[in-house]
Amino acid sequence: MQRILYGSTLEEHIRVDVVTKKLFFEGLPVSPHVVFVDSVELLPARRLLGLPIARLSRQESKGDSGMSLSSLVYDVADEYLDQQVVGDVVSKLEGLIDLFEPFERMEKALKEVMRNENSK
């Protein structure tokens, strides 16, 4: 029934309206300044949360010819002001912590869960 109602937007509805809403409105006691995600499909959560959402990715190697101050790039939803907020947060955190580590840890945990489920 939901596939008929939501059509091609069902997956976005589940990711953004169901999962994100549950995590942020029922799970966090304090709102973050920025929410980092590893999937461009989660950027529309900006409309629901009212917080800057940024997708992080590793910067492509430029070879020996270029120099860069950052090892990552980020995308934000269509909110222009989010670029400045995210840029400020990334510049403060990047030298202090590995911003990709939580994503890598979650990916390993999910793989382990799936492996355990498949072995049953």
- Residue 54 in contact with residue 32, Cβ under 8 Å? no
pLDDT of residue 78: 74
Range with lowest mean pLDDT among 58-62, 102-106, 111-115: 58-62
Residue 116 has pLDDT above 80, yes or no: yes
DSSP letter string over 92-117? HHTTTS-TTHHHHHHHHHHHHHHHHH
How far does Cα 95 stand from its chain's mean position? 19
Query: pLDDT-based confidence at 28, cuts 50/70/90?
Result: confident
Range with lowest mean pLDDT among 16-20, 60-64, 112-116: 60-64
**C-alpha span between 39 and 25 (Å, rounded):** 20
pLDDT of residue 101: 92
Domain extents in the chain: 31-62+69-118
pTM here? 0.71
What's the chain's average pLDDT?
79
Q: What is the pLDDT of residues 72-105, one digit of tens each?
A: 888 898 777 899 999 999 999 988 999 999 989 9
pLDDT of residue 71: 74
How far does Cα 46 stand from its chain's mean position? 11
Residue 41 has pLDDT above 70, yes or no: yes
